[in-house]
A and B are shown apart, each in its own frame.
Chain A
Amino acid sequence: MNGQGNSGPGVGQSLIDATPRQQRNTLALWLSRLEGPQTMGRGRGFWITLALAVLAAAIYPLFVDGWTVGNTAYFLVWTFMAMGLGVIWGYAGSLSFGQTAFFGLAGYGYGVLTLNFGAAYGFTILALLLAVGLAVLLAVVLGYFMFYGRVQGVFIGIVTLSVTLVFQAFMAQTAGPEWAIGAARLNGFNGMSGMPPLTIPWPGGDVLLYADIALYYVLLGLMLVVYLGLRMLLNAPFGNVLVAIRENPERAEMLGYDVRRYQLLAFVLGGALAGLSGVLYTAWGQYITPSSMGITAAALPVIWVAFGGRKDVTATLIGTLAMIFLYQWLTIYGSQYAIVVMGVILVLTVLFAPEGIVLSLMRRLSARLTSAGGRP
């Protein structure tokens, strides 16, 4: 009984009933934010397409061997860093050129922790969280000094790029045996290897997520959760403020928003996602090297996100997967020019679709569908 038979509003309504209803409303509110002004894609057509894509991804391992599935999992590893960069750059308007700093720090962090403490009792999961925590800590400190120090525009790119290059240079000179944290040798340019894969404790035997089908499903699920979570967050008031800051930071401040705080929050979120990618990469291949923080590595996410379309999380995701696939394909088939092709694609994007190639295609498709739907 919800007290509907009573005369006054709320009279006789039990407090115990009120709480679940409040929770239901909150849940409904967040679910409603899966669609909104800050993300493309709405209505039945979009969700059916997404469901079909997820279904196709889910049955894909039935048609190929485990090794290929493991390689496909590698594509998924990078999407978190790309979506995070999309939030910082595309939504909040600050181009970070050094997401790989968070990627590398968390990757090395996972290596050091698991090489020292092993994988028993689900420790790899804790190590994942701790390593992402390290990336968050770096993002908080670096972001605080940048945004509260009023560093803006291109200088954010310069500062973040410098940080990742410093990390790379530092890790590259740790070849000597004196460079070890406990049992974990840092190993200089050759990088760190031999850490355990993510291990899920399970009755009757732990599940080891080697680069194989199980890891693929875990990453697919995680990617879907992060993607949908970001859609909800970006359509929430938080996302509105980020977009306001991107469009006109002075106006955003003059509407009562602490611009620096929101920029910092977006930066930390992006850092956390880059850190997540770093841990997953390390756990996937059981190695990490300083070159994962070098200039090529730092430039690639920027190219993926620019190609996809930084102002929309769906375009970012599709563009990133397409670009990684292309890059991988070019490298496998012996082209030494893969990185040059990436550069050419970036130039073409900037020239012909500065908002991103995938995004502009999506906008065209959406306009066509709208006009087709509007016809009598």
Chain B
Amino acid sequence: MILQTRGLCKRFGGVHVARNIDFGIEAGEIHCLIGPNGAGKSSLFRLILGAHQPDSGTILFKDEDVTRLPPFARIRKGMSVKFQVPGIFKDLSVRQNLVISFQHHLHGHDLEATIRRVVAFAGLEGLEGKAAGTLSHGRQQWLEIGMAVGVEPSLLLLDEPTAGMSPEETRQTGEMLRVLNAQGVTILAVEHDMSFVQQIADRVTVLHFGEIFAQGSVQEIISHPGVADIYLGASDD
């Protein structure tokens, strides 16, 4: 297990966004976190990152207790994140975005080589000098994925990586994640596009009212009778 949570609880006022969550991600897998709106996906995501502190419970990353560490310290231990709304530096050039993302670990020729590699990987050739905010939405998302993976994280956290993308961009993003995964990056993605989940996921965890509702392979989850119910139930609200 690269990441494990034990008895994780978090409430905001009277709302339990995480209720006793025992959850784990195996090294090397692509794990999707799904659930209807308000199920606690983003909260669990933020708890793992350290953007929220849990009321109780522990988070282990590579067998080390990181529960009390601030986000930047978790990132330095090998986590990496891509947000739902593109978290890029819009007024800075594509190149500057990448330099800032990698300068922590890389210098000189290594830095340049990584920038070239990531630019090619994210399909941003010829756009290095452009302000990142002027890129198309899909390219901004890819730039952020590039920023998140350039330093070879051991765990990549993605919050709705395909939000706002065209079907073609979504498919390309799926391929991109597959390539990364083949290179050894473990991925946790919060997602609610089920066809995308089917395209990429090795395992799926379903959250409902801040609790783990079901867990298993994509096929197991799709054929799970309760999962369809909670989604339909949610859409009935």
Contacts and interface: CB of A to CB of B under 8 A. Distances in A.
A240 B96 contact: yes
Contacts, number: 58
A318 B100 CA distance: 28
A250 B50 CA distance: 12
Given A37-B96, A240-B96, A240-B99, A255 B104 contact: yes
Chain A contact residues: helix, strand, loop or mixed: helix
A241 interface: yes
Contact of A256 (B75, B91, B93, B96): B75
Given A250-B87, A251-B87, A251-B88, A256 B72 contact: yes
Interface string A252-264: 1111111100000
Nearest to A250: B87
Interface residues of B, number: 23
Given A237-B103, A254-B49, A255-B147, A248 B89 contact: yes
B87 A248 contact: yes
A206 interface: no
Interface string A237-277: 10011011001101111111111000000000000000000
Most buried by B among A247, A256, A259: A256
Interface residues of A, number: 18
Nearest to A238: B103
B100 A244 contact: yes
Contacts of A37: 92-93, 96
A17 B103 CA distance: 28
B71 interface: yes
B90 interface: yes
Given A37-B96, A244-B100, A247-B89, A254 B76 contact: no
Given A244-B89, A255-B75, A256-B76, 10 more contacts: A37-B96, A240-B100, A240-B103, A243-B89, A243-B96, A247-B89, A248-B89, A253-B70, A253-B72, A258-B72
23 contacts: A237-B104, A240-B100, A240-B103, A241-B100, A243-B89, A243-B100, A244-B89, A244-B92, A244-B100, A248-B89, A250-B87, A252-B100, A253-B75, A254-B75, A255-B100, A256-B72, A256-B76, A256-B104, A257-B72, A258-B70, A258-B72, A258-B73, A259-B72
